[in-house]
């Protein structure tokens, strides 16, 4: 079946190319999930990307309200109207609320207005927002269904591809408010804005698409304002099924910023690898990330650092105590530091912001400190999807990446596998506290390094005013990784 590209970021992927041409698509969702935004963007994208005019029929908000509400996305609505590319058909209620229906209500007059607007604009796309107001004019579901079927048939005769919104009363109940809308429309898209563990998460699902294929399951999405420096604004779908394992690999190595660690890794990190540094608070994760970007800047690499636990000034101050001048790297244009509080945005918004900064700055290296801070603002499933999307994007762009995570326990215990990122990263460096003879010492080991031999010993890790130093292996002790340290038994004395 021929499909019409929506032009909405990610939506064409999960619909396998767009919406079936000349058919109606129902978009059902509860309050605040972005139905009206999607309905407007469907028309705006058609105008901006394909030069296809559109008509917007509003049953609830006035055209002035809609223009004001979508202004934050940077869409030039008034300009499109002046150029004859976008037409509003206002069927919103009278402000006085004095509208009275006597006898049978008929939409023939409104359909004639819509048909005239479609013809005058030479519209290819049509959005209707929303069906709730249509049903409010009827005293029975059977009457409303008959009238809705007549509207859908008439819209098809106009030769446009249409998108119609409808309300849902709950996130996982019936598809739409009155229980009949989904049977009349050719295609059904369900938007959800669920609350789990005091965190909101928006998802989109293609419930049905008559005669056409589509991706199955729920996919996260977000709404991005025009004030964000991103290539896509408005309704942005993040399709995990778009991630492909077809990126190239290289044998070229780069330095971690520490000669001893490079030796432990078999000569340094691969230039296109994603490295995970996992450890308890204070074990040196931020220091390792700082050395990584500083070394890159020294090599004339463009480096990007995201800090989700420390402010910009705090990072600069701490780095200076190790002899690293981050400000000089920023002034030279080799380094950009983005410091953001995790709770400021949703996880999907953070992902879009990270991608946008990468697109704008074009880094050779990137450090993110730390992923555990972002875990606070998402559900377990949401964070897992974020980690997959992020690491896939970094590998696709061939950016040398160092990500940090914080383990919950100071001495041993579960660590990396609970973070949902261990399987998607190429290398894992594990940092540990070790209690030895009444003193707290640090340990480091290279747990995994794909495609390379590496040092498998557990070595002492020291932090001083020069940064980090890697010492000798802990040869007389066992149980360091598990947190149950004890002396290594001498088999000869058994």
Which residues are designated catalytic?
Answer: 60, 309
Could you give the CA distance from residue 331 to residue 395 in angstroms, rounded to a whole number? 28
User: Whole-angstrom Cα distance, residue 490 to residue 494?
Assistant: 7
Q: What is the DSSP string of 26-44?
A: EEEE-TTSSHHHHHHHHHH
β-strand partners of 464: 467
Bond from prior residue into 327 cis (ω within 30 degrees of 0): no
* DSSP per-residue codes, 127-142: EEE-THHHHTT-SSHH
Helices marked H in 83-176: 108-121, 132-135, 141-157
Between CA 185 and CA 190, with CA 186 as vertex, the angle to 5 degrees is 70
CA distance 386 to 410: 26
φ, ψ for residue 227, nearest 5 deg: -80, -10
Place of tokens 């909101």: 200
Among candidate residues 48, 52, 51, 13, the one with its CA nearest the CA of residue 162: 52
Q: How are strands ordered across the β-sheet holding 125-129?
A: 86-90, 54-58, 125-129, 161-167, 24-29, 187-196, 199-209, 218-224, 234-237
- Do 81 and 40 form a contact (C-beta atoms < 8 A)? no
CA distance 138 to 117: 26
Count of beta carbons in the 10 Å neighbourhood of residue 75: 23
The two structure tokens encoding residue 328:
């000089």
Owner of token pair 């705090």: 314
Return phi, psi of residue 132, to 5°: -55, -40
């Amino acid at each position: 079946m021929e499909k019409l590209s929506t032009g909405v970021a990610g939506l064409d992927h999960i619909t396998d190319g767009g919406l079936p041409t000349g058919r109606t698509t129902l978009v059902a969702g509860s309050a605040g999930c972005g139905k009206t935004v999607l309905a407007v963007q469907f028309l705006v994208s058609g105008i901006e990307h394909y030069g296809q005019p559109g008509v917007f029929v509003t049953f609830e908000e006035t055209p002035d309200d809609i223009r004001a509400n979508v202004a934050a996305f940077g869409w030039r609505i008034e300009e499109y109207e002046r150029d004859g590319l976008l037409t509003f058909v206002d069927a919103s209620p009278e402000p006085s609320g004095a509208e009275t229906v006597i006898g049978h209500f008929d939409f023939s007059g409104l359909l004639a207005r819509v048909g005239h607007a479609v013809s005058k604009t030479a519209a290819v796309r049509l959005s209707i927002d929303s069906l709730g107001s249509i049903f409010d004019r009827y005293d029975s579901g059977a009457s409303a269904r008959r009238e809705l079927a007549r509207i859908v048939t008439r819209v098809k005769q106009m030769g446009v591809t249409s998108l119609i919104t409808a309300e849902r009363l709950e996130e996982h109940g019936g598809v739409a408010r009155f229980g009949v809308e989904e049977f009349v429309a050719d295609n059904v898209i369900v938007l959800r804005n669920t609350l789990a563990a005091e965190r909101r998460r928006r998802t989109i699902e293609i419930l049905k698409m008559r005669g056409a294929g589509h991706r199955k399951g729920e996919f996260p999405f977000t709404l991005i304002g025009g004030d964000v420096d991103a290539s896509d604004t408005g309704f942005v779908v993040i399709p995990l099924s778009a991630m492909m394992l077809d990126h190239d690999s290289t044998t070229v190595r780069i330095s971690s910023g520490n000669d001893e660690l490079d030796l432990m890794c078999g000569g340094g990190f691969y230039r296109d690898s994603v490295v995970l540094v996992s450890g308890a608070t204070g074990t040196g994760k931020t220091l390792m990330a700082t050395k990584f970007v500083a070394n890159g800047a020294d090599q004339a690499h463009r480096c990007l650092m995201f800090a989700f636990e420390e402010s910009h000034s705090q990072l600069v101050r701490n780095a200076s105590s190790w002899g690293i001048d981050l400000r000089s790297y920023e002034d030279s244009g080799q380094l950009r530091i983005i410091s953001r509080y995790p709770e400021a945005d949703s996880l999907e918004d953070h992902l879009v912001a990270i991608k946008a900064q990468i697109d704008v700055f074009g880094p050779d290296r990137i450090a993110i400190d730390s992923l555990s801070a972002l875990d606070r603002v998402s559900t377990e499933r949401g964070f897992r999807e974020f980690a997959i999307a992020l690491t896939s994007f970094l590998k696709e762009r061939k950016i040398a990446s160092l990500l940090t995570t914080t383990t919950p326990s100071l001495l041993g215990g579960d660590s990396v596998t609970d973070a949902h990122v261990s399987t998607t990263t190429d290398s894992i460096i594990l940092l540990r506290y070790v209690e030895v003879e009444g003193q707290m010492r640090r340990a480091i080991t290279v747990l995994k390094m794909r495609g390379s031999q590496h040092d498998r010993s557990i070595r002492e890790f020291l932090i001083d005013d020069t940064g980090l130093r890697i010492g000798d292996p802990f040869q007389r002790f066992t149980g360091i990784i598990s947190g149950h340290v004890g002396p290594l038994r001498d088999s000869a004395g058994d």
